[in-house]
Amino acid sequence: MALGEPEKKEEGGAHYFQVGNKVVIPAVGHLFGLKQATSGSYYPVFEVEWAPTFEINKRNEYARKYLENLKKFADVAEDIYIATDYDVEGSVIGYNILRFVFNREKAKRMKFSTLTKEELLHAFQNPIELNKGMIKAGLTRHTLDWYYGINLSRALTHSIKKVGKVFSVLSIGRVQGPMLYFLVRREREIRAFKPRPFWQVILKFRLKGKEFEALYREKQIWEEKRADEVVRSCEGKKGVVKDVKKRVVKKNPPAPFDLTSLQTEAYNLFGYSPKRTLDIAQSLYTQAYISYPRTSSQKLPKQLDLRGILKKLSAQKEFKELCQEILKGEVEPHEGKKKDPAHPAIHPTGEVPKKLTGPEKKIYELIVRRFLSCFMEPAKRESISLTVDINGNEFLTSGSRTLKEGWMRAYKPFLKLQEVEFPEVKIGEEIEVKELEKLEKETQPPQRYTQGSIIKEMEKKNLGTKATRAQILQTLYDRGYIVNKSIQVTELGMTLVEALEKYCPTILSEELTREFERKMEEVMQEKIPMEKVLEEARAVLREILKEFKENEEKIGKILDDALMRTREEERTLGKCPKCGGNLKIIYTKKGRFVGCSNYPKCKNMYPIPRVGVIKKTEKTCEKCGTPIIYVFRKGKRPFKMCLDPNCETKSGWGKKQ
Ligand SMILES: [Zn+2]
Ligand SMILES: [Zn+2]
């Protein structure tokens, strides 16, 4: 639309646009992918070639028409402008079309970070050259991931087939291995953790009409006797303020968002998975409301016309006042350290959103408020710590309050501040002891990672890239290696790592993955050729796979056992209310039902839906005592129900429908 009034053309279900003598053809993601150039399911396999995605997988059939549309212009095109996202993936998409459809190596490249009309037009009128580094880095990553994916998946599947009780396809990727290993180590720490009891003494007191709590100086008292002594020696004694410390802390505005910090914040505030946040941000980007989200930059460069964006943003009622206030002064953003040569930090474009979904609205507001915060003054918070003495026993408490709001005014809806205000007190002042309480607690195991914290950890460890981390995490869930929001490794995930750790540890090596990550970075900077990295990868994989092949049967045995246990576990839905045995899904030629493990002694059984995936909930029905199950059916909402068809919770069923 930026180029003029477009005419939409549609052929065979695929569309493109004509604007005067120019055509704009969408590429719907990757039109070319990698596939094996030879046949046979052997490994190691490194014979690979690029082919149209619809030839590789039937699922990609829709892409055929788009490719044909492009081909129509192969001979008549004069100038070609590549306008895919300016990043590694976008560069690969564009370059593959250029070389395989147009038979060329050169084209003009549009570089932009937002999809606003002005920026697109500017990018079109001032095209740059293709970024060879990005293209090469992308081709390297695709090939490397293909090498790893296909070879490891074949090795694992072969090993299971060799032992051969259950048929299963197992897979592990180049980055997934080290990442899963990392999660497994935390899981082991948690399982090995032995909690240790300790005691705390809490003082509840009144000061100038308000109630407060303070904690005995020793935060963990290991012997109960000691805790009792503290309580006893305080009984009936007066309490006085022994010390008051005040401190004023300046709090600078936060840096504007890069992808990881946006994903972490959205997880903490709304519970959105990193993948979901990225999808929402991508949608806001394609609607031209925010800038390109796959960035690691925390900078807002001067070329951005920040004043212009703020002026446009002030058209929205809720931001109007803040924008006007910022525009009165010098518009100087507070920035973070991280940089990205391709894109600035995530920021609003100023375009007024027309219609946003609930989640889009949340992420949009978060990004705008974060952006506005960057231009505002530091906040000032006062923290007070108070020491109370009772008969030589010291109790501590603290609180803080805001003295000056500064940027917090913009970011307020997303701040979780604890405001505890103390009245003015002097040393020596008496407090009114209300109660002394002894609490029994125990030490806690290390915390599980959440989807928010694991993404941050991966970035710190330089595993994966900003664009791929969310997907890698999702893949671990999809393959059943991890479950839950507080990430828990499943038995299958644990066993896979155990087998690899024992017989083929290189697959799990964080260092190796990081090293390839570094090398791809060097390919991007055109410091080393792509072929050199691929050659090294082939050498490493040959080594790994040789090791694997030697232990194929042992690995297969371990995995097969784990798979059997997992299936058995999935099949078990809960306890039989009649005899206490296990209720299991039984498959027959005619279909399936739920029966009791004590059959033939117990003949208890229940029908279950003919189609759909059944999963246990670990809950039982309050009315009939049978296990409650989840039923997932394609294209329908999953629902929960108990097993007994005659249960009173189902009395209304069938009537409503
Ligand atoms: Zn039974
Ligand atoms: Zn019931």
Question: Would you say residue 405 has pLDDT above 50?
Answer: yes
The encoded tokens of residue 341 equal 């040569």
Q: What Rg, from alpha-carbon coordinates, does the chain have? A: 31
Which of the four pLDDT bands, split at 50, 70 and 90, describes residue 656?
Answer: very low
Candidate from 26-30, 169-173, 343-347 with smallest mean pLDDT = 26-30
CB-count exposure of residue 246 (10 Å: 0-12, 13-18, 19+): exposed
Question: Would you say residue 611 has pLDDT above 90?
Answer: no
Give a three-class secondary structure readout of 230-293.
HHHHHCCCCEEEEEEEEEEEEECCCCCECHHHHHHHHHHHHCCCHHHHHHHHHHHHHCCCECCC
CA of 566 to the centre of ligand 2 (A): 27
**pLDDT, averaged across the chain:** 91
Residues in the chain: 657
Residue type, 499: A
By the 8 A CB rule, do 569 and 584 touch?
no
CA of 599 to the centre of ligand 2 (A): 22
CA of 586 to the centre of ligand 1 (A): 14
What pLDDT, on a 0 to 100 scale, did the predictor assign at position 655? 58
What is the percent of the chain where pLDDT is above 90?
66
Q: How far apart are CA 293 and CA 261, in angstroms?
A: 11
pTM metric for this prediction = 0.82
Question: Would you say residue 60 has pLDDT above 80?
Answer: yes
Name the active-site residue from 292, 364, 411, 481.
292
By the 8 A CB rule, do 26 and 16 touch?
yes
**Which ligand neighbours the alpha carbon of 649 most closely?**
2
> What pLDDT, in 10s, does the model give residues 481-493?
999 889 999 988 9
> What pLDDT, in 10s, does the model give residues 103-148?
999 999 999 999 888 888 899 999 999 999 999 999 999 999 999 9
The encoded tokens of residue 128 equal 């740059």
CA of 646 to the centre of ligand 2 (A): 8
Q: How far apart are CA 91 and CA 523, in angstroms?
A: 14
CA-nearest of 39, 35, 40, 38 to 52 is: 35
Q: What does the DSSP assignment read for 461-489?
A: HT-S-TTTHHHHHHHHHHTTSEETTBTEE
Question: Would you say residue 192 has pLDDT above 60?
Answer: yes
Vertex 590, ends 587 and 591: CA angle to 5°? 45
Which of the four pLDDT bands, split at 50, 70 and 90, describes residue 9?
Answer: confident
Residue 96 CB partners (closer than 8 Å, separation 6+): 30, 31, 32, 50
Question: Would you say residue 342 has pLDDT above 70?
Answer: yes
By the 8 A CB rule, do 53 and 30 touch?
yes
Candidate from 42-51, 277-286, 511-520, 562-571 with smallest mean pLDDT = 562-571
Q: How far apart are CA 94 and CA 60, in angstroms?
A: 18
Given the structure tokens 């399911």, which residue do they identify? 41
292 is catalytic: yes
**Which ligand neighbours the alpha carbon of 580 most closely?**
1
HSE-CB of 504 using CA atoms within 13 angstroms: 28
By the 8 A CB rule, do 288 and 114 touch?
yes
* Three-state secondary structure call for residue 151: helix
The encoded tokens of residue 599 equal 């059959």
The encoded tokens of residue 382 equal 């006062």
Vertex 295, ends 294 and 299: CA angle to 5°? 150
What does each C-alpha distance from 87 to 223, 341, 342, 514, 622 come to in angstroms?
59, 10, 7, 20, 54
Higher pLDDT, residue 394 or 611:
394
**Which ligand neighbours the alpha carbon of 645 most closely?**
2
Alpha helices for 110-131 (secondary structure H): 117-125
What pLDDT, on a 0 to 100 scale, did the predictor assign at position 583? 94
Residues with CB under 5 A from ligand 2 (ion): 621, 623-624, 642, 644, 647, 649
What pLDDT, on a 0 to 100 scale, did the predictor assign at position 4? 66
CA of 581 to the centre of ligand 1 (A): 5
Q: What does the DSSP assignment read for 373-390?
A: HTTSPPEEEEEEEEEEEE
> What pLDDT, in 10s, does the model give residues 416-457?
888 888 888 889 999 999 999 999 999 999 999 999 999 999
Q: How far apart are CA 416 and CA 201, in angstroms?
A: 27
CA of 509 to the centre of ligand 1 (A): 47
CA of 641 to the centre of ligand 2 (A): 7
> What pLDDT, in 10s, does the model give residues 197-218?
999 999 999 988 889 999 999 9
**Which ligand neighbours the alpha carbon of 584 most closely?**
1
**Which ligand neighbours the alpha carbon of 577 most closely?**
1
CA of 584 to the centre of ligand 1 (A): 10
Question: Would you say residue 1 has pLDDT above 60?
Answer: no
Question: Would you say residue 196 has pLDDT above 80?
Answer: yes
What pLDDT, on a 0 to 100 scale, did the predictor assign at position 527? 96
Average pLDDT over every residue of 215-237 = 94
